[in-house]
Amino acid sequence: MKNKWVSLLGILGILLLGGCAERRPPSGEIVSETLTGREVEVVEYDDTVEQENYNLIIEPEEKQKIEKEAVQVALLYKTIYKAADKGESYNVVISEEIVEEIKECLARKNKVVIDDAGHFNMANSKLAQVFCEAALSGEEAEVTIYELHRNGGYSRLDFHVKNKQMDLMVVSVEWNESIEPQVTYMEKYQLKNWKYTDKGYLIYERYFSPFIECSGYNILRVRPLKEEYLELTNAYIRPIGYQGNNLFLANWNKEDMTPIAFNDVFEYFYYLRKGESIYVERYKKGIPELEFETILCTYLPITGEEVKKFAYYDQQTKYYKWQVLGCANYTATPKGYPVPEVIDCIRNKDGSITLTVDALWEEYGTDCAFTHEVTIVPQSDGNFCYIGNSIQPKGNQIIPVYRNRIKID
């Protein structure tokens, strides 16, 4: 998962902007925050404790040594990064394929490597698993994990545990305009708490002042997920997700699809169909009838006439209403939104597949906020059709509350 430690000024800036600085999902309805897994509480929560009490000193010699090592690791994949397409914007973004190539490069050097988006399994994960099991047993242990970012840089995460008290040093490395690596951030602190869950996740929390509304949780998938499940997640579930649409947040099937927010889910189906994000300027007036129905009918078992009945459609203009996701049509929350992960797959006799999906919610520090089943029909031409979603009833669920973008007076 992403490494999201930010400065106090950055946090205050987000709060002052009221969530409008970036896209955020609807707020979550918290039924319970009881977390699963073998949790080790290291420090009791105390509002009177200042954050500085958790910060640890990095001696100059250690800092110099770590900086040198961090730069050397980046140089291992400099050739790959230099040759990669970095896009045309000011902020560099490399492809997932390049991230995977960098991961494989570092893995060959016996490094423990992950990507911050969770698209790949951890390389050399056994080293991290040994660390986690030793930590649970109260032994002294350490491990270094390299978390790759889409800008071509990485974060080095040095975990050390003794008597079940865990410390973490975070070192960030980025590339400058001359394509030379440089250390941009280094900090060391004691973790507030941590756990190694039954599903194989290391979940840890950094202390933040109770006066700052910011989650201190991070989640790392240590135990590898089946490659089949990763592929299914990336192909069918992750492109839709839980932000900006409710396809996986509502109970529906092919007999009753009325709970779906059709106008909102269009842009996610558009991405699946076109392989690119929707061009906002083109659709200021809405979505043309034929285009909207063609794409909706590709990914749902529905006809054009049914789409007209269920979606917001203007009979006079022949356009379907659509709004870009923004501050005016969703509820901002510092808790972010969950990330899906397929944990099981059943291949049905009728050719459909039913995927069991756990929603990981980093900001709540849980590897299963809620579970749902998605049924899909793969087609011979490479397309596929979603034919149902069912949220599995269980206790301690944390499910985002969805707010439709389109409002009809």
| Confidence (pLDDT) at 17 | 37
Contact present, 229 and 244 (Cβ < 8 Å): no
* CA-closest candidate to residue 262, choices 305, 300, 318, 233: 300
Confidence of residue 406 (pLDDT cuts 50, 70, 90): confident
Report the C-alpha gap between 3 and 155 in whole angstroms: 8
Contact present, 342 and 232 (Cβ < 8 Å): yes
Q: Does pLDDT of 212 surpass 80?
A: no
- Count of CB atoms situated within 10 Å of the CB of 172: 19
* CA-closest candidate to residue 341, choices 385, 371, 366: 371
- Count of CB atoms situated within 10 Å of the CB of 88: 6
Spatial neighbors of 348 by CB under 8 A, at least 6 apart, are: 354, 375
Which one has a higher pLDDT value, 44 or 154?
Answer: 154
| Helix (H), strand (E) counts: the chain | 9, 19
Q: Does pLDDT of 5 surpass 70?
A: no
| Confidence (pLDDT) at 32 | 33
Confidence of residue 22 (pLDDT cuts 50, 70, 90): very low
Percentage of residues in the chain having pLDDT higher than 90: 73
* CA-closest candidate to residue 278, choices 296, 260, 266: 266
Report the C-alpha gap between 247 and 389 in whole angstroms: 7
Spatial neighbors of 151 by CB under 8 A, at least 6 apart, are: 91, 92, 93, 94, 174, 175
- Count of CB atoms situated within 10 Å of the CB of 316: 5
**pTM, whole model, 2 decimals?**
0.85
Interval 44-93: pLDDT, tens: 445 455 555 689 999 999 999 999 999 999 999 999 999 999 877 778 99
Q: Which residues pair with 158 in a beta bridge?
A: 144, 169
Q: Which residues pair with 172 in a beta bridge?
A: 155, 185
Confidence of residue 382 (pLDDT cuts 50, 70, 90): confident
b/e burial code for range 351-363 (CB count within 10 A of at least 16 → b): ebbbbbbbbbbbb
Q: Does pLDDT of 10 surpass 80?
A: no
Report the C-alpha gap between 314 and 293 in whole angstroms: 13
| Confidence (pLDDT) at 333 | 65
| Confidence (pLDDT) at 12 | 38
Interval 306-355: pLDDT, tens: 999 999 999 999 999 999 887 777 766 667 899 999 999 999 999 999 99
Which one has a higher pLDDT value, 25 or 242?
Answer: 242
Average of pLDDT values for 247-253?
A: 97
Report the C-alpha gap between 86 and 304 in whole angstroms: 40
| Confidence (pLDDT) at 332 | 63
Average of pLDDT values for 207-213?
A: 75
Interval 123-134: pLDDT, tens: 999 999 999 999
Spatial neighbors of 321 by CB under 8 A, at least 6 apart, are: 263, 286, 312, 313, 314, 406
Q: Does pLDDT of 27 surpass 60?
A: no
Give domain limits for the chain: 1-32+226-409, 55-190
Report the C-alpha gap between 22 and 329 in whole angstroms: 13
Report the C-alpha gap between 258 and 203 in whole angstroms: 37
Q: List the single range of 13-22, 56-65, 155-164 with lowest mean pLDDT.
A: 13-22
Q: Does pLDDT of 139 surpass 50?
A: yes
Measuring CA to CA, how many Å separate 34 from each of 150, 164, 221?
33, 21, 20
Which structure tokens are listed for 27?
């707020």
Which one has a higher pLDDT value, 295 or 395?
Answer: 295
Q: Does pLDDT of 28 surpass 50?
A: no
Average of pLDDT values for 29-46?
A: 42
| Confidence (pLDDT) at 251 | 98
Share the mean pLDDT of the chain: 87
* CA-closest candidate to residue 386, choices 397, 372, 396: 372
DSSP state of 123: B
Which one has a higher pLDDT value, 77 or 207?
Answer: 77
User: What DSSP string runs through 185-204?
Assistant: EEEEEE-SEEEE-TTSEEEE
Q: Based on the number of CB atoms within 10 Å of its own CB, is 393 exposed (0-12), middle (13-18) or buried (19 or more)?
A: exposed
- Count of CB atoms situated within 10 Å of the CB of 217: 21
Contact present, 398 and 369 (Cβ < 8 Å): yes
Q: Does pLDDT of 372 surpass 90?
A: yes
